Amino acid sequence: MRTIAVVNQKGGCGKTTVAINLASAIAQLGKRVLLVDMDPQSHCAVGLAVPEEQIELSIYDVLISHTRNEPIRLTEILWQISDTLELAPASIDLAAFEQQVSGVPEPETLLKRVLDEVSQTYQYVVIDCPPAVGLLTFNALRAATDVIVPVETGYFALHGLSKQLETLGLLCKRCKQQVNVKVLASMYDIRTKMAREVLAQLRSHFADRMLRTVINFNTKIKEAASYGQPINEYDPASKGQQDFRRLAEEIMGIEPAQDSRQIINSLAEQLEAISTSANQLLASSQDKHTQRAKPSPTPQASVAATQAQSPQPEPTPAQTDARLASYYGVHPSKGAVTFVTLYPRAKTVQIAGDFNNWRPDQTPLQKVNENGVWQVKLELPPGCYRYRYVVDGQWQQDPYNERVEPNPFGEYNSVVEVK
Ligand SMILES: Nc1ncnc2c1ncn2[C@@H]1O[C@H](COP(=O)(O)OP(=O)(O)O)[C@@H](O)[C@H]1O
Ligand SMILES: [Mg+2]
């Protein structure tokens, strides 16, 4: 049985949406799935049209009763959602869980003990966690073979991410558990430049700790929740449904940690590694913001600086943004195109595209200054070209080029036209 905990202490980053729709997508692929709601706010019930007032027993009762002599079985509280999906609902009592179990030995393993009893019944368990790192989340982590951390693709999402991963790491230090921890980009809005930038940075920093699938922002997903349906029922043709199907397939394809012969880091080590990456990522995005406020001389900017010797008024952030936007990106000229990008921490930046048979090793970018500006000029016959950057081995779309098109891998290629 694989047990997937969906964890992030930030509210509104898409945990419940991911938990419900991932569980439902895996169930639709023919597996028996149990969705466990560990959030006192009971959003899974709301999102699956289970009438809250009719929930008499919840996961709270099961957990608490396991500390006493007459345990309530999990089967007594379940709601059937579809042929292969069941919900163990939450209730507001969970808010008092921590107090109720004080004095109980190993209260963080209660959920694991309950789930172990049904390990022959379900192939997958998905656990929705509350927006806090407390005993409820810790119970989910202790039961988990897989942890998914959904991260909204905006700069603010990164604040607090490293701190909480650090906290989770500390919490788990004692347990020598084998799990896969993966970061999932959620609510991705391809139309905004910031989202594209953050995704590119998440990819380059988290590398293989990042799930390949991205959950796009899709209004159908929001609508589905308000109608109490998973997206695969509400709108099977929607983009949102395709994303969750892809996510389910990707997760199902990952080798479960306990069966793997490779040496897998303990949960604590993985969380710490992710937390370090999040810190670096945050620092580099802050660097970038600082650079935006005061751009340091770039090849073009230094020419401008020597031409204008007199002191300039400080540009507004919007002016600086506009100036940088016109500097980074693609600059087609007659029969050629110059690619300019910013990767302050990269060791190598290459480009792969239609023009070099997608062989990045053929076309490296040159680092043009210490700030991490990289550039290459390619002479190309007129036409439309698709390309991606390869930054320290990680493929990513150009964060400074708004023109993109989907590729067969569920990601986006950047597009440039040479006249
Ligand atoms: N991919 C998405 N596209 C559109 N809306 C989304 C998406 N993911 C989440 N939402 C909406 O964002 C809000 C917060 O999501 P939710 O899953 O409840 O977050 P959390 O459980 O982390 O608090 C909800 O209204 C939800 O419908
Ligand atoms: Mg939630």
> Are 233 and 172 within one domain?
yes
* Best CA proximity match to 8, nearest among 162, 115, 125: 162
- Cα–Cα distance, 257 to 92 (Å, whole number): 33
- Asked whether 112 and 127 are in contact (CB, 8 A), the reply is no
> Are 404 and 269 within one domain?
no
- Cα–Cα distance, 229 to 30 (Å, whole number): 18
Residue 28: inside a domain, yes or no? yes
Consecutive 10-residue averages of pLDDT for the chain (419 residues): 92 93 97 97 95 94 93 96 97 92 92 96 97 88 92 71 68 68 90 81 77 94 94 95 96 67 48 68 60 41 36 47 63 89 84 94 90 88 94 83 79 88
Q: Tell me, what CATH number does 185's domain have?
A: 3.40.50.300
Give pLDDT, residue 305. Answer: 35
Q: What is the DSSP string of 120-167?
A: TT-SEEEEE--SS-SHHHHHHHHH-SEEEEEEESSHHHHTTHHHHHHH
Q: Tell me, what CATH number does 354's domain have?
A: 2.60.40.10
- Asked whether 91 and 40 are in contact (CB, 8 A), the reply is yes
> Are 21 and 93 within one domain?
yes
Closest atom of ligand 1 to CA, residue 187: 1
Give pLDDT, residue 286. Answer: 59
> Are 362 and 260 within one domain?
no
Which of 199, 222, 231 to probe ligand 1 with, by most ligand atoms within 8 A of CB? Answer: 222
> Are 84 and 210 within one domain?
yes
Residue 331: inside a domain, yes or no? yes
Distance 135 CA to ligand 1 centre (A): 23
Residue 241: inside a domain, yes or no? yes
- Domain termination site, one of 266, 284, 302: 284
- Domain termination site, one of 284, 305, 330: 284
Residue 293: inside a domain, yes or no? no
Q: Is 36 left (phi over 0), alpha (psi -120 to 50) or beta?
A: beta
Residue 296: inside a domain, yes or no? no
Distance 167 CA to ligand 2 centre (A): 20
Give residue 132's domain range.
2-284
Residue 349: inside a domain, yes or no? yes
- Cα–Cα distance, 105 to 181 (Å, whole number): 27
Strand 366-367 and strand 373-379: the pairing is antiparallel
> Are 255 and 364 within one domain?
no
Give pLDDT, residue 281. Answer: 66
Ligand that comes closest to the CA of residue 229: 1
* Best CA proximity match to 128, nearest among 203, 209, 24: 24
> Are 11 and 92 within one domain?
yes
> Are 267 and 332 within one domain?
no
Give pLDDT, residue 373. Answer: 83
> Are 143 and 229 within one domain?
yes
| Domains: count for the chain | 2
Residue 306: inside a domain, yes or no? no
> Are 329 and 264 within one domain?
no
